[in-house]
Chains A and B, each alone.
Chain A
């Protein structure tokens, strides 16, 4: 290892960085703002997706059985449904249990003691492995002999599936726009620093420095801008999250927002990666414009 070379290189990067402090601050600020927006967006998207998944997980297919079904017939239907690989679980809920559940859910608002007989049929509660499979499984259950009716909140499932697809597509588009805008601004900022050093670049080219070598300090500069900007952004996001999240939970008591819908470590990692990538790509492009001989 030639420490003299390392020292020279780091010295050049540092000199570059401190000499154009104003421009560096602009670049870092741009990265920070972009990453804050990106982070907030990713967070909201993750929370929405987590919320959606939670709803999806609660979706079950209520399979109401014909009133005259014998217990042997019920057992065979139960067996038939659970042999489907898409099905996670099948629970038998007798009409008695069904009534108890109804009572519990309505919290006594309906006076069930008025009923002279239990109007509920026996049912099978079917859970499916993936929300997307619910409609198909429901359709195949409906065809089984001895099944009276099948209910699964068809519209809710369709809406949630659509929401998920839209979120994915819009999300990718929004992220691309964010990164492109930040890239352009940073690329312009670094072009100014390249312009400020054009004499140096000309001399480097004159004495036979390779383009890669000339590029390297600028790429490092972009990398530092990106990482510092991301660090500021992550800090801002963390503070905002700590301040706003408890209030949000308080404001929406009936919605059980999933705390673990996103992985904070992963999100921070993604944001740093995005910041660093913007910095490197932007500086690569802006130096390239000055290198064509």
Chain B
């Protein structure tokens, strides 16, 4: 589903964000990207949704060669991907319903499909009863659930999330992670960049650890800190 081969990324200011990163993520996988701030987690995600282009290396997402993708084809890629951020990125002057519908409407979706799909995803994230409220009237967890609903409304095969629980308290964090798990069980491939140790340790999922723009370990059922788990698989 996602494949990176020898990917490097150097920003125009000379900072080397990624250094020969190779990674394979299969269909329906749930992967944590962990590491300190500034180790390249966000940069890696940005490459996947073509917010940035690699300096070298090959990137394939759902069969699309992202590193070679022309600007005009980027919208098509983004419709296969859902992206969720720490700061939710909701429009404050639109209701929950409108924020979610917006993602479909701006891709030119038929109203019939919008009317069918939006209630479905709002039900999935448990916000049907708050669909007429504005983001400012919601808790952080509810705002993030709205953002997840928006990311899912176009039925993406992959959901990328960059610190989705970074602004949330533990109760809301648990809620969001359980929601992501439910979405994963429906077959969506999920990549979560995080430095929330509690979440990673409780979920016991695949953990890809990054340091200084390189992948240092890749464990099948890992912990946040290396050495806590059993059956570690160290890779290049």
Report whether B110 and A2 are in contact in the complex, using a CB–CB cutoff of 8 Å.
Answer: yes
| Cβ-defined contact, A293 with B91, below 8 A | no
| Distance in angstroms between the alpha carbons of A214 and B78 in the assembled complex | 15
What residues on A are CB-neighbors of B107 within 8 Å?
207-210, 213
Top 6 nearest A-B pairs (CB, nearest first) are A4-B111, A208-B78, A209-B106, A208-B79, A207-B103, A208-B75
B91, A199: Cβ atoms closer than 8 Å: yes
Contact indicator B71/A4 (Cβ below 8 Å): no
Are B108 and A207 interface neighbours, CB within 8 A? no
Number of interface residues of B (CB under 8 A): 29
* B71 & A293 in contact (Cβ 8 Å cutoff): yes
Contact with A along B94-108 (1 / 0, CB 8 A): 000000001101111
| Residues of chain A contacted by B103 (CB below 8 angstroms) | 203, 207
* 0/1 string, A209-242, CB within 8 A of B gives 1: 1110110000000000000000000000000000
CB < 8 Å neighbour of B105 from A5, A199, A292: A5
Chain A, interface size: which category?
A: 20 to 34
How many Å lie between the Cα of A5 and that of B110 in the bound state?
7
Give bound CA distance, A209 to B154, whole Å: 12
Cβ-based interface call for A202 (8 A): yes
Instruction: Tell me the dominant secondary structure on chain B's binding face.
Output: helix
Q: Are A209 and B114 neighbours in the complex by a CB distance under 8 Å?
A: no
- B150 an interface residue at 8 Å Cβ cutoff? yes
B138 within 8 A of A: no
Are the C-beta atoms of A4 and B78 separated by less than 8 Å? Answer: no
Asked if A203 and B89 make an inter-chain contact with CB atoms under 8 angstroms apart, the answer reads yes
CB pairs A–B below 8 angstroms (29 shown) = A2-B110, A3-B111, A4-B110, A4-B114, A5-B105, A5-B108, A8-B111, A15-B93, A199-B89, A199-B91, A200-B91, A203-B89, A203-B102, A205-B75, A205-B78, A206-B49, A206-B83, A207-B106, A207-B150, A208-B74, A208-B75, A208-B76, A208-B78, A208-B154, A209-B75, A209-B107, A210-B107, A213-B108, A293-B74
CB of B77 within 8 Å of the partner chain: yes
Complex: chain B residue closest to A202, CB-CB = B89
Interface string of A281-293 (1 = CB under 8 A from B): 0000000000011
B contacts, CB < 8 Å to A: 49-51, 71-72, 74-79, 83, 89, 91, 93, 102-103, 105-108, 110-112, 114-115, 150-151, 154
Q: Chain A, 265-280, contact with B by CB distance < 8 Å: what is the 0/1 string? A: 0000000000000000
| A166 at interface, CB cutoff 8 A | no
Q: How far is the CA of A203 from the CA of B92 in the complex (A)?
A: 12
Q: Which of B49, B107, B154 has the most CB of A within 10 A?
A: B107
> Which residues from A are CB-within-8-Å of B151?
207
A206 to B75, CA, bound (A): 8
Name the residue in B71, B103, B105, B115 with the highest tally of chain A Cβ atoms < 10 Å from its Cβ. Answer: B105
Q: Give the nearest-CB partner of B81 in chain A.
A: A208
Q: How far is the CA of A211 from the CA of B105 in the complex (A)?
A: 14
Q: Does A176 contact B (CB under 8 A)?
A: no
Distance in angstroms between the alpha carbons of A202 and B89 in the assembled complex: 9
Chain B residues lying within 8 Å of A205, measured Cβ to Cβ, are 74-75, 78
The interface residues of chain B lying within 8 Å CB-to-CB of A2 are 110-112
